[in-house]
Structure 1
Amino acid sequence: MGRPTKYDAAAIVAAASAIAGEGGPDAITMSAVATRLGAPSGSIYHRFASRAALRGAVWLDTVTCFHQQVLDVLDERRPTESALRAVRATIEFCRTDADRGAVLLAGRAAFTPDDWPAETLDAVIDSDQTFFTRISAVARGVAKESGVDKQLVYLAIVDLPYAAVRRHLSSHRPIPPGLADVVADAATRMLTPRPAE
């Protein structure tokens, strides 16, 4: 049986995510990751051929985990309940993993996707398509169920939770444990149809 790999791809990506969480995507360098892990630079290049490949892996890891956390709470048969669970899931994802939260909020463009390996880009596109197909189905369901305009639905379930966590993550402050409740309550108000005047 061979020796276990000390610096596997998951450990390298986790270290790179932590670096991005602290200093932004541009802080991810092969030498910075090697230093954080206490590994020789060759160990990093053995797993990732370039800085761009490592950045792509960080983004793919983040969105895959985030998408799965949200998708796990969606049920198109109960769109409004699902939408509010998605709001909470977004907040909790960023609260419990601030590094990935910071990566997510930096946005894909900050990780130089034009330079990613083709298989990384394809995997990201597949994950995005699955996620947005499910979110769109829930948003349509909420709009139909409540009569609230679909754009307002997207504002409540996508933009609002991002905005709520951004001010904490951008200043490297912990997200308060009760923030999910506050944002879900605000989203509930947004998704409640107003009586006709």
Structure 2
Amino acid sequence: MPRPPRFDADDLLDAAVILAATGGPAAVTMSAVAQAVGAPSGSVYHRFPGRSALLAEVWLRTVEGFQEGYLAALDGDPDPRAAARAGARHVVAWSRAHPREAALLLYGAEDFGRAGWSQEHRERADRGNARVFARLGMVGADFGLTGPEGRDRIVLALIDLPLGVVRRPLRAGHPLPPHAEHLAEECAAALLG
């Protein structure tokens, strides 16, 4: 009977998250991940065929975890104002609960080599983004915000402003201020009227 693997894909991706959070996407190499967990390089190559697959998986696992909670927050209340506030709050609360992953997401998929990802990885990323933007479109429609200006207002209120609240402290390696969730909610509410 074969021995179970000592390091599974999640162990390797956890190490990649730490590397990316502290050194950016360039710090995520096959050998750096192997060294971080004390595994031979072959263990990493056994689970990921190359660096582009590793980068895609660490990005996608992180962004999908965020998106799942974000969509649940937006869907959690039939009142569009409460749903919008919950969405803005989720960005900050998730970042507080997952500071390494949040620091990773301050980069974009392009920084994680999206151009070199497999078609399957790119399609997976596109599906997740499409779900989020479709839901944001529904929130916008609930507020009567349609067209390019309405779309920009919803994205600013529910993505860009909450990210602005977390970006500076995360980049500086500081904890988020205790009032960050409230600030994100209030900014979203003020912008959406």
Q: Same fold (TM over 0.5)?
A: yes
> In structure 1, what is the equivalent of residue 73 of structure 2?
73
- Larger CA deviation: 92-101 vs 48-57: 92-101
- Give the distance between the partners of 1:150 and 1:113, measured in 2 at CA: 25
**1:30 and 2:25 are equivalent in the alignment:** no
- Give the distance between the partners of 1:143 and 1:4, measured in 2 at CA: 55
Cα contact 1:143–1:150 (8 A) shared by 2: no
Q: Please give the per-residue CA displacement for 1:102-141, whole angstroms capped at 9, x wherever unaligned.
A: 1211011101111112221121111111121112211221
Residues 34 and 140 of structure 1, relative CA distance in 2, 3 Å threshold: same
- Larger CA deviation: 48-57 vs 177-186: 177-186
Cα contact 2:56–2:117 (8 A) shared by 1: yes
> In structure 1, what is the equivalent of residue 144 of structure 2?
143
Q: TM-score, normalised by structure 2?
A: 0.90
> In structure 2, what is the equivalent of residue 195 of structure 1?
none
Cα contact 1:67–1:131 (8 A) shared by 2: yes
**Partner amino acid, structure 2, of 1:55:** L
Give unpaired runs (5+ residues) of structure 2. Answer: none
Q: How does 1:4-153 map to 2 (within 5 A)?
A: 4-75=4-75, 77-143=78-144, 149-153=150-154
**Partner amino acid, structure 2, of 1:96:** A
Residues 30 and 184 of structure 1, relative CA distance in 2, 3 Å threshold: same
Q: Please give the per-residue CA displacement for 1:163-190, whole angstroms capped at 9, x wherever unaligned.
A: 1111011111122233111221222222
**Partner amino acid, structure 2, of 1:20:** A
Cα contact 2:85–2:185 (8 A) shared by 1: yes
Q: CA deviation at 1:153?
A: 3.1
Cα contact 2:91–2:162 (8 A) shared by 1: yes
Kindly tell me the number of residue pairs found equivalent between the two proteins. Answer: 189
Percent of pairs identical after alignment? 36
- Give the distance between the partners of 1:2 and 1:24, measured in 2 at CA: 36
Q: Please give the per-residue CA displacement for 1:11-55, whole angstroms capped at 9, x wherever unaligned.
A: 111110110000101110111111110111110010011111100
Q: CA deviation at 1:96?
A: 1.1
Q: TM-score, normalised by structure 1?
A: 0.89
Give unpaired runs (5+ residues) of structure 1. Answer: 193-197
Cα contact 1:84–1:187 (8 A) shared by 2: yes
**Partner amino acid, structure 1, of 2:85:** L
Cα contact 2:140–2:150 (8 A) shared by 1: no
SS in 1 for 2:74: coil
- Give the distance between the partners of 2:151 and 2:40, measured in 1 at CA: 51
- Give the distance between the partners of 2:39 and 2:177, measured in 1 at CA: 35
